[in-house]
Amino acid sequence: MKFILVAAMAKNRVIGKNNGLPWDIPEELADFRAFTSGKTILMWRKTYEGLGRILPKRRNIMLTREPSAVRIGEFPTIQTENGWKVDGGEKGEIEIYTSVEELQKHLWEDEDLLILGGSEVYKLFLENPLSEIRLSEIHGEYDGDTYFPAFEELYIETSREPKEGYDLVWYRRK
Ligand SMILES: NC(=O)c1ccc[n+]([C@@H]2O[C@H](COP(=O)([O-])OP(=O)(O)OC[C@H]3O[C@@H](n4cnc5c(N)ncnc54)[C@H](OP(=O)(O)O)[C@@H]3O)[C@@H](O)[C@H]2O)c1
């Protein structure tokens, strides 16, 4: 199993503003959708709330310390005998865990976990020896309130692909 941190970062390290993305780059979003489709994704509470919906065709997992207080768009959380979840009916569901330790008990051996942010969860997983980074390096600087943590001392670039408005860059642990 690998942890893949998937993020988009401006030249000044900004990744978010007012619980959303400060840029609008359709090609980057389409690429994100294609890469994450069919996989298991992890987001933390604020990022899910900012998004306000369950991402279709993916196994959705959320971390929060307070499951009862969360609401994703029109859907509140519910408690079942197997724990907390958001049940979106035909829109799918979000499994909810209150710690990384609890989450790890529910992952399959051969399953990669895509870490989709925000900044607190990136910080935690950057330290993990099983992590890689798939970073959309957005051309230009943006105003924002959330930043991608420093990773350059621990990681080395392995590939770079220029795209419209950003570079798609992979990093692995040194
Ligand atoms: N550009 C990108 O690639 C990208 C990707 C993702 C997000 N973003 C942006 O980043 C911003 C959101 O990031 P953020 O750093 O403010 O928030 P975040 O990391 O999404 O969420 C933080 C929340 O996660 C929960 N949490 C933190 N540590 C935990 C732990 N040890 N165990 C369980 N739960 C824990 C807490 O929820 P509770 O308070 O409920 O306990 C905490 O308030 C938004 O602007 C978003 O658009 C950008």
Instruction: Give Cα separations from 18 to 14, 21, 46, 69 (angstroms).
Output: 12, 8, 10, 20
8 Å CB contact between 126 and 20? no
Looking at ligand 1, which atom is closest to the CA of residue 64?
34
pLDDT tens digits, one per residue of 34-66 = 999 999 999 999 999 999 999 999 999 999 999
Adjacent-strand bridge partners of 40: 59, 113
User: Which residues' Cβ are closer than 6 Å to ligand 1?
Assistant: 7-8, 15-17, 19-21, 44-47, 50, 63-66, 98-99, 116-121, 146
Q: How far is the CA of 119 from the centre of ligand 1 (A)?
A: 6
Q: Which two tokens stand for residue 100?
A: 């990384």
pTM of the model: 0.92
Q: Give just the sign of the alpha carbon dihedral 91, 119, 49, 17.
A: negative
Q: Quick one: average pLDDT of 103-114?
A: 90
Residue 75 phi/psi, 5-degree rounding, is -105, 125
Ligand 1 pocket, mutate which of 19, 23, 65, 136 (most atoms under 8 A from CB): 65
pLDDT higher than threshold 90 for residue 109: no
CATH number of 1-39+112-174: 3.40.430.10
Q: Domain segments of the chain: what residues?
A: 1-39+112-174, 42-109
The letter for the amino acid at 174 is K
